[in-house]
């Protein structure tokens, strides 16, 4: 069992719970013990695309964690909370409400490479402890600024009335970007405070909501429903990089971990496949030297 289940994670379910649900349903469907991992944590208060890797696809989880992701999120103005989301204590309030024009005017300063201070309630480790554990214990957590990239940021849903109480934006962001921090900083930039009232991931790497299934559909699969559209092939997580067709001799060399030279191809990551079109390995070409990054053990 190798491939992907793309879950449209419901509100209130943690990523670890989602992985447990996949394992349970695979067992109930008769697949026995399968190695399972997820491609990027999604908070319980967030919904949307959660890629869950099965078998050899788990070797791509690190690559999925590094991939850019797209979110829709609603900023509720006037109240800032300790967790910068709909839960937590209120830590600041403001009577100011921005106009649509004010919001439009500040989005450019949050697009491109930016410096961002992560929320105190985050999984970042400080002296070996999770920041959220320290914050929940009442410690003052000094978070360090980090460099991230916001590839796109625009208004997804708005109103033409001045004095907005909330607004929904769409952001395409790099690894490590905290949407809660982005919402906080946008609110500061328009002269008020705010928190994230809704967060939905619409894309993670090559996966989007079109390929995602509901928890109900996953549970139906565990109860005997057809596998169709439930489990995607391993190469579904590789469609954003070129495929490289290898001869039988070249395929054997790659499977043995040998370096190949003399193949006319662009530098960068590729996924190599043999005559049967099965993925053999994730490979990288640098100046004409092709090396294996991760090999796949997919038997016919």
Catalytic residues: 43
Total count of residues recorded for the chain: 300
What string of H, E and C letters represents the secondary structure of the chain?
CCEEEEEEECCCCCHHHHHHHHHHHHHHCCCCCCCEEECCCCCCCCEEEEEEEEHHHHHHHHHHHHCCEEEEEEEEECEEECCCCCCCCEEEECCCCCCHHHHHHHHHHHCEEEEECCCCCCCCEECCEEHHHHHHCCCCCCCCCEEEEEEEEEEEECCCCCCCCEEEEEEEECCCCCHHHHHHHHHHHCCCCEEEEEEEEEEECCEEHHHCECHHHHHHHHCCCCCCCCCECHHHHCCCCCEEECCHHHHHHHHCCCCEECCCCCCEEEEEECCCCCEEEEEEEECCEEEEEEECCCCC
């Amino acid at each position: 069992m190798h491939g992907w289940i793309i879950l449209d994670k419901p509100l209130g379910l943690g990523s670890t719970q989602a992985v447990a649900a996949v394992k349970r349903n695979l067992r109930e469907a008769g697949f026995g013990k399968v190695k399972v991992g997820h491609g990027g944590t999604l908070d319980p208060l967030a919904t949307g695309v959660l890629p869950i890797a099965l078998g050899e696809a788990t070797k791509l989880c690190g690559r999925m964690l590094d991939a850019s992701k797209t979110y829709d999120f609603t900023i509720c103005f006037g109240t800032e909370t300790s967790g910068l989301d709909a839960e937590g204590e209120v830590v600041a309030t403001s009577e100011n409400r921005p106009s649509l024009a004010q919001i439009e005017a500040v989005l450019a300063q949050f697009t491109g490479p930016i410096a961002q201070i992560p929320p105190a309630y985050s999984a970042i480790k400080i002296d070996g402890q999770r920041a959220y554990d320290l914050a929940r214990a009442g410690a003052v957590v000094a978070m360090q600024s980090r460099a991230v990239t916001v590839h796109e940021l625009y208004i997804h849903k708005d109103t033409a009335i001045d004095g907005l109480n909330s607004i929904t934006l769409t952001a395409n962001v790099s690894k490590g970007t905290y949407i809660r921090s982005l919402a906080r900083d946008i609110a500061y930039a328009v002269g008020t405070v705010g928190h994230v009232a809704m967060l939905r991931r619409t894309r993670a790497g090559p996966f989007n909501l079109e390929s995602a299934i509901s928890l109900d559909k996953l549970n139906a699969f565990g109860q005997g429903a057809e596998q169709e559209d439930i489990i995607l092939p391993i190469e579904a997580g590789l469609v954003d990089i070129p495929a490289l067709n290898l001869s039988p001799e070249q395929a054997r060399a790659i499977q043995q971990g040998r370096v190949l030279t003399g193949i006319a191809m662009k530098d960068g990551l590729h996924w190599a496949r043999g005559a049967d079109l099965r993925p053999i390995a994730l490979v990288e070409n640098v100046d004409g030297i092709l090396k294996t990054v991760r090999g796949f053990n997919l038997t016919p």
